[in-house]
Amino acid sequence: MAGERIGAWGRGKRPLRINVFDEFRRQYAWQIRELGFMVRLLGRNPSAVAGFAIIAGMVAMALAAPVLAPFNPIQISLGDRLLPPGGAHWFGTDELGRDILTRVMYGARISLWIGVIVVVIAGGLGAVIGAVSGYLGRRFDDLIMRVMDVILSFPPLVLAMALAAALGPSLNNAILAVAFVMIPKFARMVRGEALAVKEKQFIAAARASGAGSLWIVWHHVLPNCLSSVIVLGTLILGETILIAASLSFIGLGAQPPTPEWGAMISVGRKFLMDQWWYATFPGVFILVTVIGFNIFGDALRDVLDPRIRR
Amino acid sequence: MGAVVEAQNLIKHFPIRSGFLGRRVAYLKAVDGVSFSVERGETLGLVGESGCGKTTVGHLVLNLLTPDRGSVRFKGVDVRHLRGKALRALRRNIQVVFQDPHSSLDPRMLVKKTVGAPLAVNRLARGAELVQRVKAMLAEVGLNEEHVYRYPHEFSGGQRQRIGIARALITGPEFVVFDEPTSALDVSVQAQILNLVKELQRRHGYAYLFISHDLGVVKHMSHRIAVMYLGIIVETAASDSLFAAPLHPYTRALMNALPEPDPARRTMRALLAGDVPSPVHLPPGCRFHPRCPEVQGICTQRAPELREVKPGHRAACHLYR
Amino acid sequence: MSGPNEPLLEVRDLAVQFFTYQGTVRALEGVSLSVARGEIMGLVGETGCGKSVLARSVLRLIADPPGKITAGAIRFKGRDLLTLSRREMRRIRGNEISMIFQEPMSSLNPVFTVGSQMLEVVALHQAVGREEGRRICVEMLRQVKMPDAEQVLAKYPHELSGGMRQRVMIAMELSCRPDLLLADEPTTALDVTVQAQVLAILEGLTRQRGVAVLFISHDLGVIAQLCDRVAVMYAGGIIETAPAGAIFAAPRHPYTRGLLHAIPRIAARQESLAVIPGSVPSLVDPPPGCRFHPRCAERFFPCDRVVPPFYEPAPGHRVACHLHAGEEGRRSWERS
Q: Give me the residue spans of the domains in chain B.
A: 3-315
Contact state of C163 with B275 under an 8 Å Cβ cutoff: yes
Burial track C77-115 (b if 16+ CB lie within 10 A, e otherwise): beeebbebeeeebeebebeebbbbbbbbbebbeeeebbb
Kindly report, residue by residue over C152-199, the tens digit of the pLDDT. Answer: 888 888 888 888 888 888 888 888 788 999 999 888 888 888 888 889
- pLDDT band at residue B229, thresholds of 50, 70 and 90? very high
Mean pLDDT, range A263-290, rounded to an integer: 85
- Residue A14: the pLDDT is 46
Distance CA A281, CA A284 (A): 5
- pLDDT band at residue B270, thresholds of 50, 70 and 90? low
Please check the confidence at residue B239 and state whether its pLDDT lies above 60.
Answer: yes
- Residue C243: the pLDDT is 93
Contact B94, B173 (CB under 8 A): yes
Please check the confidence at residue B269 and state whether its pLDDT lies above 90.
Answer: no
- Residue C183: the pLDDT is 92
How distant is the Cα of A288 from the closest Cα of chain C, in angstroms? 33
Chains that contact C by 3+ CB pairs under 8 Å? Answer: A, B
Write out chain A residues lying below 8 Å of C22, CB-based: 310
Alpha-carbon torsion angle C109, C114, C119, C125, nearest 10: 60
CA–CA–CA angle C324, C330, C334 (5° rounding): 145
Contact state of B186 with C220 under an 8 Å Cβ cutoff: no
Q: Among partner residues B189, B215, B259, which is closest to C224 by beta-carbon distance?
A: B259
Residue-wise DSSP of A256-305: TTS--HHHHHHHHGGGTTT-HHHHHHHHHHHHHHHHHHHHHHHHHHHHH-
Residue C125's H or E segment, with its range, is: helix C114-125
| Percent residues over pLDDT 70 in chain C | 96
- Residue C325: the pLDDT is 80
B40 in reach of chain A (CB within 8 A): no
- Residue A118: the pLDDT is 93
Give the distance from CA A242 to its chain's centroid: 12
Q: How many CA atoms lie within 13 A of B296 on its CB side?
A: 10
Say how many CB pairs under 8 Å bridge A and C: 6
Please check the confidence at residue B24 and state whether its pLDDT lies above 70.
Answer: yes
Contact state of B110 with A209 under an 8 Å Cβ cutoff: no
A256-265, B33-42, B48-57, C263-272, range with the lowest pLDDT: C263-272
Edge-first strand listing for the sheet containing C67-76: C23-35, C9-20, C67-76, C79-80
Please check the confidence at residue A309 and state whether its pLDDT lies above 60.
Answer: no
Please check the confidence at residue A10 and state whether its pLDDT lies above 60.
Answer: no
A37, A38, A310, best to mutate vs chain C, most C CBs in 10 Å: A310
Chains that contact A by 3+ CB pairs under 8 Å? Answer: B, C
A202 in reach of chain B (CB within 8 A): yes
Distance CA C320, CA B10 (A): 55
Kindly report, residue by residue over A195-214, the tens digit of the pLDDT. Answer: 999 989 899 999 888 888 89
Helix axes B157-169, B111-121, angle to 10 degrees: 20
A306 in reach of chain C (CB within 8 A): no
B98-102, B149-153, C111-115, range with the lowest pLDDT: B98-102
More confident residue, C247 or C106: C247
Please check the confidence at residue B68 and state whether its pLDDT lies above 70.
Answer: yes
Contact state of A202 with B104 under an 8 Å Cβ cutoff: yes
Alpha-carbon torsion angle A174, A179, A185, A187, nearest 10: -160
Contact B64, A207 (CB under 8 A): yes
Q: Domain spanning A45-308 has what CATH number? A: 1.10.3720.10
Residues 173-232 of B with CB under 8 A from C: 186-192, 194-195, 198-199, 213-217, 219-221
Return the CATH superfamily for domain C9-96+178-335.
Answer: P-loop containing nucleotide triphosphate hydrolases (3.40.50.300)
Residues 6+ apart with CB under 8 A from A77: A93, A96, A97, A98
B186, B200, B229, best to mutate vs chain C, most C CBs in 10 Å: B186
Contact B48, B185 (CB under 8 A): no
Contact state of A37 with C20 under an 8 Å Cβ cutoff: no
Please check the confidence at residue C4 and state whether its pLDDT lies above 60.
Answer: no
Other beta carbons within 10 Å of B7: 22
- Residue C63: the pLDDT is 79
Nearest CA in chain A to B97: A205
Contact state of B187 with C46 under an 8 Å Cβ cutoff: yes
How distant is the Cα of C21 from the closest Cα of chain A, in angstroms? 6
Closest C-alpha to C248, from A249, B260, A160: B260
Q: Among partner residues A200, A210, A219, which is closest to B103 by beta-carbon distance?
A: A200
Q: In which region does residue B145 sit, left (phi positive, over 0), alpha (psi from -120 to 50) or beta (all else)?
A: alpha
Write out chain A residues lying below 8 Å of B104, CB-based: 200-202, 205
Alpha-carbon torsion angle A223, A224, A227, A230, nearest 10: -50
In chain C, where the domains are located: 9-96+178-335
Beta pairing class for C212-217 and C40-44: parallel
Q: Among partner residues C244, C270, C279, which is closest to B263 by beta-carbon distance?
A: C244
Please check the confidence at residue C335 and state whether its pLDDT lies above 70.
Answer: no
Write out chain C residues lying below 8 Å of A37, CB-based: 21
Write out chain A residues lying below 8 Å of B105, CB-based: 202
Mean pLDDT, range C322-326, rounded to an integer: 83
Backbone CA torsion sign across C55, C59, C63, C68: positive
Residues 6-45 of A with CB under 8 A from C: 37, 41
Mean pLDDT, range B188-201, rounded to an integer: 91
Q: Domain spanning B3-315 has what CATH number? A: 3.40.50.300
Please check the confidence at residue C102 and state whether its pLDDT lies above 90.
Answer: no
Q: Among partner residues B100, B114, B118, which is closest to A210 by beta-carbon distance?
A: B118
Mean pLDDT, range A28-53, rounded to an integer: 82
Contact state of A309 with C22 under an 8 Å Cβ cutoff: no
A208 in reach of chain B (CB within 8 A): yes
Contact state of C221 with B194 under an 8 Å Cβ cutoff: no
Residues 272-291 of B with CB under 8 A from C: 272-276
Alpha helices in chain B (DSSP H): 54-61, 84-93, 111-121, 127-140, 157-169, 187-204, 215-221, 239-244, 249-257
Residues 223-252 of A with CB under 8 A from B: 223-224, 226
- Residue C215: the pLDDT is 94
Please check the confidence at residue A17 and state whether its pLDDT lies above 70.
Answer: no
Beta strands in chain B (DSSP E): 3-18, 23-39, 43-47, 69-74, 77-78, 94-97, 175-179, 207-212, 224-229, 232-238, 307-310, 313-315
Edge-first strand listing for the sheet containing B43-47: B94-97, B175-179, B207-212, B43-47, B224-229, B232-238, B313-315, B307-310
- Residue B122: the pLDDT is 86
- pLDDT band at residue A191, thresholds of 50, 70 and 90? very high
Contact B43, B208 (CB under 8 A): yes
Contact C285, C23 (CB under 8 A): yes
- Residue B140: the pLDDT is 92
Kindly report, residue by residue over C39-84, the tens digit of the pLDDT. Answer: 999 999 988 888 889 998 998 888 777 888 888 889 988 888 888 8
- pLDDT band at residue A56, thresholds of 50, 70 and 90? very high
Other beta carbons within 10 Å of A98: 23
In chain A, where the domains are located: 1-36, 45-308
Nearest CA in chain A to B152: A30
Closest C-alpha to B53, from B253, B233, B254: B233
Distance CA A244, CA A183 (A): 15
How many contiguous H segments (helices) and E segments (strands) does chain A have? 13, 0
Chains that contact B by 3+ CB pairs under 8 Å? Answer: A, C
Contact B190, B178 (CB under 8 A): no
Write out chain C residues lying below 8 Å of B187, CB-based: 46, 218, 220, 259, 262-263
C21 in reach of chain A (CB within 8 A): yes
Work out the mean pLDDT of chain B and round it to a whole number: 88
Distance CA B114, CA B130 (A): 12
Closest C-alpha to A187, from A220, A239, A241, A140: A140
Residue-wise DSSP of C278-301: S-PPPSSSPPSSSTTGGG-TT--T
B82 in reach of chain A (CB within 8 A): no
- Residue B90: the pLDDT is 85
Nearest CA in chain A to C22: A310
Contact B183, B99 (CB under 8 A): yes
Contact state of C262 with B187 under an 8 Å Cβ cutoff: yes
Q: How many CA atoms lie within 13 A of C88 on its CB side?
A: 8
Kindly report, residue by residue over A152-187, the tens digit of the pLDDT. Answer: 999 988 999 899 899 988 888 989 999 999 999 999
- Residue C234: the pLDDT is 93
Write out chain C residues lying below 8 Å of B215, CB-based: 192, 266
Say how many CB pairs under 8 Å bridge B and C: 136
Model ipTM value: 0.84
Work out the mean pLDDT of chain C and round it to a whole number: 86
Please check the confidence at residue A308 and state whether its pLDDT lies above 50.
Answer: no
